[in-house]
Structure 1
Amino acid sequence: MDISVVIPLFNEVESLPELTSWIARVMDEHRFSYEIILVDDGSYDGSWEVVCELHEQNPAIRGIKFRRNYGKSAALNTGFEATKGDVVITMDADLQDSPDEIPELYRRIKEEQYDLISGWKAKRYDPPSKTIPTKLFNAATRKMSGIDNLHDFNCGLKAYRKAVVKNIEVYGEMHRYIPVIAKWAGFTKIGEQVVEHRARKYGKTKFGMSRFINGFLDLLSIFFVGKFGKRPMHFFGSMGVLSFFVGLVMAIWIVTEKLIHIAHNERYRDATDNPLFYIALVAIIVGSQLFLTGFVAELVARSSSDRNKYQIEETV
């Protein structure tokens, strides 16, 4: 099969017939073999009934229904597991992504051998309250991930080589950072394509301002897990040793200074009267705690079932 289109949806009953009809038309025009996987993330507006009707009309349309709302990441991860196509396309169900972009995305994955192509909505139809924070998050993500060529990490319209979606796990609210997850998994050929952003035709957005706070926390989480997930002692241990060493040097300085004053029969003050003493004490305690945290995290990592799970490209 050439293409699998994964579409997570939540209360998008009005847009589904038009969207699937548009996708089918594009696929037929380019003679692609395809499947459309609609993942209903706990809709309560009749979306699932429409999905069932669409499946009866076109067997290439498949549906997966969640019992409740789990979030976009869960919907994408479940959709990825169900795909059969050589190239996987993801898009939102609100008609803001254009299916006309699919042929070019497919061509670049197949001919230019990209692992992942992320869409970039250079011209957006969103209010400044959404676009400005998005630009800040994209800038921070570029800096922390080292993926300098992407302008929009969170664009719903993306294309993947099949191996990518079968070897990554999207959980929590990590759908915003799939290119980062793919990079940490060893898929480094990541490109970008300018795509059309269409104004929402039906319904209203499902995302509030809380997504920006969650997005920042997820970015820190994915950065830490990707870099130190298999070796937490390298992070906690190094920080702990540094803090302990700084505190120890301060303590030695305080004691040495006091002994020098005593040796010269000079007036001195007790160590506990010196503010530096308490800073040194805190640094030593924090350093010890960080080191022990790293030790415990290392034990947990070594006990993990996937401690020796690595991405293998191919074998001969």
Structure 2
Amino acid sequence: MKLSIVIPAYNEEESISIAVKTLYHVLTRNKIEHEIWVTDDNSKDNTAEVLKNLKLEIPTLVYETNYGPNGFGFAIRYGLERYSGDCVAIFMADLSDDPDDLVRYYKMMMETGVDAVFGSRWIKGGRTIDYPFKKKIINRIANNIIKLIIGVDYDDATNAFKLYKRKTIDGVKPFLSPHFNLTIELSLKTIVRGYTYVIIPNSWTNRTFGVSNLKIREMGSRYFFILMYCFLEKYFSKGDFKKKW
């Protein structure tokens, strides 16, 4: 089963090379057939030039520039419309996600046959390194609200780092989110539409280079919109979008 990894990148000239090289070496060492798909989200720095040079060294790297519309969600959606694998993971360009966790995700999917593998940084075995305190408080509040409204026992829906089978991605379309709210759209639609999933611990490490593009104050209403959409779909769509078994 071929694994694709979609990486959204905006002004990541300092970190994208390390992320791609580390992913490639870990996946190659584990003999996992893969492609590393990077969406350059119309960066204003030298991200495109770095990717061009990386392509000469990393044979499984595929990259394109998304000239617009731009934004975190649009960059991921660009990759999700073009990847070639049988399953696909979302991975951060700043290497805050751990490639060894991705190997564990992949092996879990192969062993169990589930439609998706979700990571949680907050269950036993999960960990965070240098996680900003204010961000952690907001994260815990937001994820508990999601658990309450949707009625699921999953505490890290806002975690973008997940693995989906191709049929799962196709089954949660059309995508609505242009920004970071895509992270909860993908996971909540997977749940409410009846796809199977497992939850395993994963780790998160704060970025070493660059600046995060997440603007918490701007995202509240966008997360709330997607949360309400998924709530309405779960309880009022009468199964119109349910997985066809």
Normalised TM-score (structure 1): 0.68
Equivalent residue number for residue 195 of structure 1:
202
Equivalent residue number for residue 175 of structure 1:
182
Q: Secondary structure at the match of 2:205?
A: coil
Equivalent residue number for residue 90 of structure 1:
90
Instruction: Work out the CA distance in 2 between the residues paired with 1:309 and 1:108.
Output: 26
User: For 1:273-312, what aligned pairs fall within 5 Å after superposition?
Assistant: 311-312=243-244
Instruction: Report if the CA contact (8 A) 1:137-1:216 is conserved.
Output: no
Instruction: Report if the CA contact (8 A) 1:40-1:66 is conserved.
Output: yes
> Which sections of structure 2, spanning at least 5 residues, go unmatched?
none
Describe the superposition over 1:163-218 as per-residue Cα deviations: whole angstroms up to 9, x where unpaired.
1112222322441312111123331x222221121121101111122223322233
Describe the superposition over 1:64-122 as per-residue Cα deviations: whole angstroms up to 9, x where unpaired.
21114522222222212222222212111111111111221111111112211122123
Change over 3 Å in CA distance of 1:76–1:185 after alignment to 2? farther
Q: What letter is aligned with 2:199?
A: E
Q: What letter is aligned with 1:151?
A: D
Instruction: Work out the CA distance in 2 between the residues paired with 1:115 and 1:100.
Output: 20
C-alpha displacement of 1:229: 5.2
Equivalent residue number for residue 240 of structure 1:
none
Instruction: Report if the CA contact (8 A) 2:37-2:79 is conserved.
Output: yes
1:210 aligned to 2:218? yes
Instruction: Report if the CA contact (8 A) 1:74-1:171 is conserved.
Output: no
Q: What letter is aligned with 1:181?
A: K
Instruction: Report if the CA contact (8 A) 1:73-1:171 is conserved.
Output: no
Structure with a larger share of its residues in strand: 2
1:47 aligned to 2:85? no
Q: What letter is aligned with 2:192?
A: W
Of stretches 132-141 and 68-77 in structure 1, the one that deviates more from structure 2 is 68-77
Task: State the identity %.
Answer: 23
Instruction: Report if the CA contact (8 A) 1:81-1:166 is conserved.
Output: no
Instruction: Report if the CA contact (8 A) 2:192-2:242 is conserved.
Output: no
Structure with a larger share of its residues in helix: 1
Change over 3 Å in CA distance of 1:147–1:310 after alignment to 2? closer
Q: How many residues align?
A: 235
> Which sections of structure 1, spanning at least 5 residues, go unmatched?
232-307
Instruction: Work out the CA distance in 1 between the residues paired with 2:11 and 2:176.
Output: 21
- Compute the RMSD of aligned alpha carbons: 2.2
Equivalent residue number for residue 33 of structure 2:
33
Instruction: Report if the CA contact (8 A) 1:133-1:212 is conserved.
Output: no
1:165 aligned to 2:169? yes
Q: What letter is aligned with 2:148?
A: K
Equivalent residue number for residue 8 of structure 1:
8
Equivalent residue number for residue 109 of structure 1:
109
Instruction: Work out the CA distance in 1 between the residues paired with 2:236 and 2:48.
Output: 41
Equivalent residue number for residue 219 of structure 1:
227
Instruction: Work out the CA distance in 1 between the residues paired with 2:53 and 2:238.
Output: 46
| Structure 1 residue ranges (4+ consecutive) displaced by more than 6 angstroms after TM superposition | none
Q: What letter is aligned with 2:11?
A: N
Equivalent residue number for residue 155 of structure 1:
159
Normalised TM-score (structure 2): 0.87
Of stretches 2-11 and 160-169 in structure 1, the one that deviates more from structure 2 is 160-169
Describe the superposition over 1:218-264 as per-residue Cα deviations: whole angstroms up to 9, x where unpaired.
31133224543579xxxxxxxxxxxxxxxxxxxxxxxxxxxxxxxxx
